[in-house]
Amino acid sequence: MKTYFFVLGTNHTLSKIDVVNMLARKGIDFEILEASEEVLLISTSTELDAKSLINELGSAAKIGEIYGLYDNKSWPDNFLKTDLEEKFGQSKFGISVYGAGGKFKQLNEVFYSIKQIAEKLKERQIRGEGRVLSTVAVDKNGLLKEGFELVICCGSKGVYVGKTLAIQDYESYSLRDFGRPARNVKSGMIPPKLAKMMINLARKEKESLFLDPFCGDGTILQELILLGYKNIIGSDLNERAISGAKVNLDWLFKNFQNINQKDYCLKIFQSNVNNLSANISFKSIDAVVTEPFLGSSDRRFFKPEQIKKEVNELENLYLKAFLEFKKILKTSGTAVIVFPVFRFYKQFFYLNILDKMEAIGFKNERFIPEKIKGAELLKLQISNRNSVIYFRPGQSVSREIFTFSLR
């Protein structure tokens, strides 16, 4: 059996859901060993292709393999005496320490014990700020090509020691987020990593037909292409958005290797969401993945009465959209969608349409497949509405993520 670690993104719940769903979809038999807000550890008899897997995930900053588990009493003496040179050789190295479910006191003790390792090998150590090396530091110092990143995970069962095998391609994410020719900041833009996680939540095969009916500048379409989905439809009411999406996708095909526009069946058109079924064949769509309109650009200045009015208008928009989704989704179809959550000081305002959606015929699905070994260790932050809240500091509107299926 092999043990692997996944260093998680800022929203640890979505990150864990992303990793677990991806492994399950690939048919990999695994067990969750430890989980925290920083890292997820699994055990499996399958050898993972970390470099390929990290490009499919939108969530993991690093993936690596664990080589040893030490009890708290023997750490770090046994590691220093017997395993350090044997496991990691004479290369330059960096060190990152993550909490993996252990107590905070233990994490501090492990972190300070690193001084012994650093002292022993100080002439070869790449130093960072704090207890964690960023992916940028790992990359810029060539640790995956000319050395290694020693990763220590402080868990409830002891101290896990391993090294990083792959890191997230931060430069590519930055390029396709900020380097695209068409960007409309005022209308709001879904981050590429979140778009990818939502696509993965749909749990569909590569030949499936995907639709984003609020495609905007094409972020979700872009991530579908890079993930290898060949059949894609995008639509939007805004003519400027459609033009921007087409420009961005042309740029994507020209600037990213291993994708050829001729290999994709890609359709983008202008349409009101209320008229989708007039433009898309009945029961033809496998998955809708989308971030609809999240409210007025002035919403951050709204008071409660204005927010309630905004919520009412959005509820009508979303319900009309789901009535159209029911017509065009296959019986086995899925909708992964963002709802807005408005905040006014300590008050939160949600779209209260879940009962109406159930009456239409949509089921609010669970995020984790059944019968995942060790799933109780994940400690997911799922709302009482069976959603995941994606929040960034300073935002007046958060994203509430749901997965729906036709009943």
Per-residue pLDDT of 340-355, as tens digits, reads 999 888 889 999 999 9
Same domain, 349 and 297: yes
Boundary-marking domain end, from 168, 194, 209: 168
What's the pLDDT at 54? 97
Same domain, 116 and 263: no
Boundary-marking domain end, from 168, 202, 220: 168
Same domain, 236 and 270: yes
Boundary-marking domain end, from 168, 200, 215: 168
Q: Give residue for tokens 């740029």.
A: 251
Could you tell me if residue 177 is inside a domain?
A: no
Q: Is 357 exposed, middle or buried (0-12, 13-18, 19+ CB in 10 A)?
A: buried
Q: What are phi and psi of 270, to 5 degrees?
A: -85, 130
CATH code of the domain covering residue 254? 3.40.50.150
Same domain, 245 and 132: no
What's the pLDDT at 136? 95
Same domain, 144 and 292: no
Could you tell me if residue 175 is inside a domain?
A: no
What is the DSSP annotation of 338-359?
EEEEEEETTEEE----HHHHHH
Which domain covers residue 284, as residue numbers? Answer: 184-406
Which residues of the chain are modeled with pLDDT < 70?
Answer: 84-90, 104-105, 115-128, 185-188, 299-301, 394
Same domain, 211 and 158: no
Same domain, 92 and 200: no
The count of domains in the chain is 2
Same domain, 140 and 224: no
Same domain, 156 and 194: no
Provide CB contacts within 8 A for 5, sequence distance 6+.
39, 40, 41, 62, 63, 64, 65, 66, 98, 100, 151, 153, 160, 162
Residue 176 identity (one-letter amino acid)? R
Pick the closest to residue 153 from 4, 1, 373 (CA basis): 4
Other Cβ atoms closer than 10 A to 374: 16
Same domain, 273 and 392: yes
Could you tell me if residue 178 is inside a domain?
A: no
Same domain, 114 and 195: no
Other Cβ atoms closer than 10 A to 364: 14
Using CA atoms, how far apart are residues 54 and 349, in angstroms rounded to an integer?
A: 35
What's the pLDDT at 125? 66
CB 369 within 8 A of CB 348: no
Cis-peptide into 304, omega within 30 deg: no
Same domain, 202 and 295: yes
What's the pLDDT at 73? 80
Could you tell me if residue 176 is inside a domain?
A: no
CB 167 within 8 A of CB 158: no
CB 135 within 8 A of CB 61: yes
Could you tell me if residue 198 is inside a domain?
A: yes
Could you tell me if residue 382 is inside a domain?
A: yes
Reading the block at residue 188, the tokens are 């709001």
CATH code of the domain covering residue 6? 3.30.2130.30
Could you tell me if residue 118 is inside a domain?
A: yes
Could you tell me if residue 173 is inside a domain?
A: no
CA distances from 329 to 50, 286, 290, 321 (A): 34, 6, 14, 12
CB 192 within 8 A of CB 248: no
- Enter the pTM of the model: 0.93
